[in-house]
A = this chain, B = another copy of it.
Amino acid sequence: MTSDPLPPVLAIRAFEAVSRHLSFTKAGEELGMTQAAVSYQIKVLEERLGFPVFVRRARKIDLTEKGTQLATRVVDAFRDLRTAFSDVRQENDTQLVIACNPTFASRWLAAHLFDFQIANPDLAIRIIPSDSEDQYKNGEQDITISGCYAPPPDNIRHPLIPATFSPMLHPDLAASIGGINSPTDLLKLPITDPADHWWPLWFAKAGIPNPDLGSWPSSRMGSQGLEADRAIAGKGVAILTPFFYRAELASGQLIQPFDLVEHDPGMAWHLSYPHSNRNSRKVRLFRDWIFTELLKDGLDMEETGLAVA
A184, CB-defined interface residue at 8 Å? no
**Docked pose: A170 CA to B256 CA in angstroms:** 128
A4–B140 CB distance below 8 A: no
A108, CB-defined interface residue at 8 Å? no
Segment 37-80 of A: residues with Cβ below 8 Å from B:
47, 49-52, 54-57, 64-66, 69-70, 73-74, 76-80
* Residues of chain B lying within 8 A (CB to CB) of residue A55: 137-140
User: A9-17, A227-235, A292-300: which one contacts chain B?
Assistant: A9-17
Cβ distance A99 to chain B, nearest Cβ, rounded Å? 13
Could you say how many copies of this chain the assembly holds? 2
* Residues of chain B lying within 8 A (CB to CB) of residue A84: 69-70, 73-74, 77
Contact of A137 among B6, B47, B57, B69 (CB under 8 A): B57
**Docked pose: A9 CA to B11 CA in angstroms:** 10
**Docked pose: A64 CA to B141 CA in angstroms:** 10
* Residues of chain B lying within 8 A (CB to CB) of residue A7: 85
* Residues of chain B lying within 8 A (CB to CB) of residue A73: 80-81, 83-84
Contact (A87, B74) CB under 8 Å given A55-B139, A82-B6, A92-B49: no
**Docked pose: A91 CA to B73 CA in angstroms:** 15
B51–A83 CB distance below 8 A: no
Contact (A91, B66) CB under 8 Å given A9-B10, A55-B138: yes
Chain A interface residue count: which class? 35 or more
Contact with B along A83-98 (1 / 0, CB 8 A): 1111111111000000
A309, CB-defined interface residue at 8 Å? no
* Residues of chain B lying within 8 A (CB to CB) of residue A76: 80
A34, CB-defined interface residue at 8 Å? no
* Residues of chain B lying within 8 A (CB to CB) of residue A77: 77-78, 80-81, 84
A118, CB-defined interface residue at 8 Å? no
A210, CB-defined interface residue at 8 Å? no
A277, CB-defined interface residue at 8 Å? yes
Instruction: Other than A6-B78, A50-B92, A73-B83, give 17 A-B pairs with Cβ distance below 8 A.
Output: A2-B79, A2-B82, A2-B83, A6-B81, A9-B12, A12-B81, A47-B276, A49-B85, A49-B88, A50-B280, A56-B137, A64-B139, A70-B84, A70-B85, A70-B88, A73-B84, A74-B84
